[in-house]
Structure 1
Amino acid sequence: MAKIYVLDTNVLLQDPYAIYAFDDNEIVIPAVVLEEIDSKKRNMDEIGRHARQVARIMDNLRGKGKLHQKIALENGGSIKVELNHRSFKCLQDTFLEMTNDNRIIAVALNLMKEEEEKEEPRPVILVSKDALVRIKADALGLIAEDFLNDRVINFDDIYSGYEELYVSEESINQFYLDKSLQIKEVTPREYHPNQFILLKSMTNQGSAIGMVDKGGELLLPCLFGHDVTWGIKARNVQQVMSLELLLRSDVDLVTLVGKAGTGKTLLALAAGLMQTEDQKIYKKLLIARPVVPLGKDIGYLPGEKEEKLRPWLQPIYDNLEFLFNTKRSGEIEKILAGISSIQVEAITYIRGRSIPEQFMIIDEAQNLTKHEVKTILTRVGEKTKIVLMGDPQQVDHPYLDEYNNGLTYVVEKMKEQPFSGHVKLAKGERSNLAQIAADLL
């Protein structure tokens, strides 16, 4: 049976093409949604870009007929702009204020009542990314759903980059002796390029870490993961894997996911400094992070660009102070001023650039949208290595979550590529308190 879907503003601002995601059902856009989108169209950010894209899509549909009279879509469904807000009278006893959210709920409620009077009523479903809108709609007897079409994964099964495999003790000995192992000899499973396999003995007599080759047929030993890198040595097996990817010249894209304190930023900075300053593999170390606040924004900041960005980039400076072993305040600034090959800045300034022969680190990438992360990756030039890292469970962006952010998007889309590698770090190494807080709070 065909359904009627009433879309909230946040659905269209998250995905301008959401109207094509409901198959052959009827899509209803309340007029107040167009008003809210209109208020966002001048924003010079991702929300503003999506608002303008929605306006263009709706304008193109006008050529097929009157929007308030229902227009057929190419997927067999239809779309209609609903102008009737009189049903708000039904909500006045429950929700006193005529807010935009309540007006959207009122449209859905009015449509539901109209459908109930028909011989074959169609289900009316309100689709919103706002949990409180869904709760209020449910309290009124409306069916309310989240918009899940933009999710890269549907539940918490993000690709970890490694797997455990129990094999015979002879297979582990053969792996150490031959420096390789035919994967098909120990398991029929297929693995992604640059995926790690933790070989464990069935008799608990040994173990080994191996990395799948580009063709997915051979398991090869780690070459760099156990080395000391700019004074940093891996403390757990996931950090060994991370350093292996960070130090390999044949892996151009590295994604690191993990909770706070797992060592993502420190490992990436150490690997970048060694390959830029010591080995001279790259001409410059570029470190950037999105300017998205945690909690209430602190507003405009005085000073030049460097002074404005310092509060946002302080976590990076903290790690650099640790790696350079600085003791006094302001010492790291003097060191960086004397090393022109290290550049720390916000992602805001990356558009339009071409970045060749650099080691790029993008911190807090979970706060990037799919479009933003695509923009960053398309800036990468020849002989450049880029590292994206963050914690998908700590998203500060208002329209993103752990399932649809840019970091998760890259991890899932790039895991089949021979130039890409990924590790999900699990164990915190900052302190016992930090680890317990990350797990329990």
Structure 2
Amino acid sequence: MKKIYVLDTNVLLHDPNAIFAFDEHEVVIPSVVLEEIDSKKRNADEIGRNARYVSRLLDGLREKGHLHSGVQLDNMGSLKVELNHRSFMKLQEVFGEVSNDNRILAVGLNYFIEQQQQSEPRTVVLVSKDVLVRIKADVLGLTTQDYLSDRPAGLDELFTGNSQLQVHPSVIDEFYSYRSLTIKNLQLAYPLYPHEFVILKDEMGTGKSALLKVNKEGTKLEPLYLSNESVWGINARNAQQRMALELLLNDDIPLVTITGKAGTGKTLLALAAGLCKVEDEHKYKKLLIARPVVPMGKDIGYLPGEKEEKLRPWMQPIYDNLEFLFDTKKSGDIDKILMGLGSIQVEALTYIRGRSIPGQYIIIDEAQNLSRHEVKTIVSRVGEGSKIILMGDPEQIDHPYLDAASNGLTYIVERFKQQQISGHITLEKGERSKLAQLAADLL
């Protein structure tokens, strides 16, 4: 039986195409949602873009009929802008305030009460990304759920870029003898993806092990190309950091994604690899380092000073790492070094749209605060001969409509994990300090 899905505003502002995500069921948009979308359409950020997109989408659907009467969608479902279930009387007994959230709840509740009076009642589901709205709906006895259609995987199922295999010691011996293993012969129960790392462990319990990488065709396990040497004074302190440097220094992998908690070394490793490629090997013309001014696209005019002065508070974590790599002693030395080199540019993502960036080593920090559309915008800027690194901690989200499983960084990791031109690694062990590691784990 067809269900009735009542959508909260945040669902449409998060994914404008959510209208089409409910298959053959009926989608209901409360009239107050249109008011909230209208109030956001002039925003210069991603939310404003989505509000304008939803407006155009609904305007196009008007050609099929009156939205308040319901129109048929191409997926055999239907869409209706609800005007007749706005009564606040039932809800007022529990939540007295006439807020926009409560008005949306009232529509869901009135639909639910109406369906209970039918001989074959349909299920009414309120869909919202607002946790408190879902809690209030549950208190009212309404079926409620988060919007999950755009999630590439469950949080526990996200691709980590490395796995550990327990094998017979003869398999490890074979690798050291022939420097290669055929994946098909291992008869694994799950697939291995291009450039994925594998740690072989002796199933007999000895200390015998091997660190390997899947080739770009996904057919063989091969040794890492790089030895564990210093890169701009930085040495890998654990296996995952060594895997990260392998991806960062490989010119045949133009897209690298790195995730991990605070203090795992994401930014420092990427900067060290970038400086090596630009300043030592001259493989790229410039090192471009950027991070979002959250939310992306927000005007920074309220900060004092010129553009560089305005950006400095947002970019300070980048400068901190550069000061460590260049071993500067005094405040302001790093600015003189960067000015003298001319090949290192620290930028805000606000200014990257519309550009084409060829022949550069591009580092995008804090990418977990980007939406899917923003990630697409950024990666599509990458020109011929460029390499881009996207990194961040999916558990530290500042964007109001993103979470650990639906942000742009997680999305691109899952979408590109089978591609030969990309590589991913999740850093697990904090190396900043014991205190930082405990804070990341416990807090």
The TM-score normalised by the length of structure 2 is 0.96
1:374 matched residue in structure 2:
376
| Aligned counterparts of 1:82 and 1:246: Cα–Cα separation in 2 | 52
Deviations 1:34-91 (A, max 9, x none): 0000011111111111111111111111111111111121212211111135520222
Instruction: Report the CA distance shift for 1:120/1:183 in structure 2 as closer, same or farther (over 3 A).
Output: closer
1:123 matched residue in structure 2:
123
| Aligned counterparts of 1:432 and 1:225: Cα–Cα separation in 2 | 27
1:426 matched residue in structure 2:
428
Whether contact under 8 Å (2:290, 2:348) holds in the other structure is: yes
Whether contact under 8 Å (1:357, 1:383) holds in the other structure is: yes
| Aligned counterparts of 1:354 and 1:141: Cα–Cα separation in 2 | 52
2:39 matched residue in structure 1:
39
| Aligned counterparts of 2:227 and 2:413: Cα–Cα separation in 1 | 21
Alignment partner of 1:156: what SS? helix
Whether contact under 8 Å (1:227, 1:233) holds in the other structure is: yes
Alignment partner of 1:151: what SS? coil
Which structure 2 residues correspond to residues 70-89 of structure 1 after superposition, within 5 A?
70-84=70-84, 86-89=86-89
Alignment partner of 2:87: what SS? helix
| Aligned counterparts of 1:374 and 1:439: Cα–Cα separation in 2 | 31
Instruction: Report the CA distance shift for 1:260/1:173 in structure 2 as closer, same or farther (over 3 A).
Output: same
Fraction of identical pairs, as percent: 64
Aligned length: 438
Alpha-carbon shift at residue 229 of structure 1 (Å): 0.2
2:201 matched residue in structure 1:
200
Alignment partner of 1:254: what SS? strand
| Aligned counterparts of 1:4 and 1:167: Cα–Cα separation in 2 | 51
Letter paired with 1:425 = L
Alignment partner of 2:273: what SS? helix
Letter paired with 1:323 = L
Alpha-carbon shift at residue 329 of structure 1 (Å): 0.9
| Aligned counterparts of 1:412 and 1:44: Cα–Cα separation in 2 | 28
Alpha-carbon shift at residue 202 of structure 1 (Å): 2.6
Instruction: Report the CA distance shift for 1:72/1:192 in structure 2 as closer, same or farther (over 3 A).
Output: same
The TM-score normalised by the length of structure 1 is 0.96
**Match for 2:329 among 324, 327, 348?**
327
| Aligned counterparts of 1:313 and 1:98: Cα–Cα separation in 2 | 42
Whether contact under 8 Å (2:41, 2:51) holds in the other structure is: yes
Letter paired with 1:126 = L
1:281 matched residue in structure 2:
283
Deviations 1:303-335 (A, max 9, x none): 111100000011011100110111111111111
Alpha-carbon shift at residue 159 of structure 1 (Å): 0.5
2:238 matched residue in structure 1:
236
Whether contact under 8 Å (1:290, 1:347) holds in the other structure is: yes
User: Is 2:365 aligned against 1:363?
Assistant: yes
| Aligned counterparts of 2:313 and 2:35: Cα–Cα separation in 1 | 35
Whether contact under 8 Å (1:230, 1:271) holds in the other structure is: yes
1:163 matched residue in structure 2:
163
Gaps in structure 1 of 5+ consecutive residues: none
| Aligned counterparts of 1:70 and 1:285: Cα–Cα separation in 2 | 53
User: Is 2:394 aligned against 1:392?
Assistant: yes
| Aligned counterparts of 2:411 and 2:350: Cα–Cα separation in 1 | 20
| Aligned counterparts of 1:358 and 1:298: Cα–Cα separation in 2 | 26
Whether contact under 8 Å (1:85, 1:103) holds in the other structure is: no
2:178 matched residue in structure 1:
178
Letter paired with 1:322 = F
| Aligned counterparts of 1:428 and 1:85: Cα–Cα separation in 2 | 53
Letter paired with 2:238 = N
Gaps in structure 2 of 5+ consecutive residues: none
Whether contact under 8 Å (2:86, 2:103) holds in the other structure is: no
Instruction: Report the CA distance shift for 1:427/1:78 in structure 2 as closer, same or farther (over 3 A).
Output: same
Letter paired with 2:48 = G
Whether contact under 8 Å (2:300, 2:310) holds in the other structure is: no
Alpha-carbon shift at residue 166 of structure 1 (Å): 2.2
1:258 matched residue in structure 2:
260
2:13 matched residue in structure 1:
13
Alpha-carbon shift at residue 225 of structure 1 (Å): 5.1
Q: Structure 1: which 4+ aligned runs deviate by more than 4 Å?
A: none
| Aligned counterparts of 2:227 and 2:169: Cα–Cα separation in 1 | 23
**Match for 1:227 among 226, 229, 239?**
229
| Aligned counterparts of 1:171 and 1:105: Cα–Cα separation in 2 | 60
Alpha-carbon shift at residue 415 of structure 1 (Å): 0.7
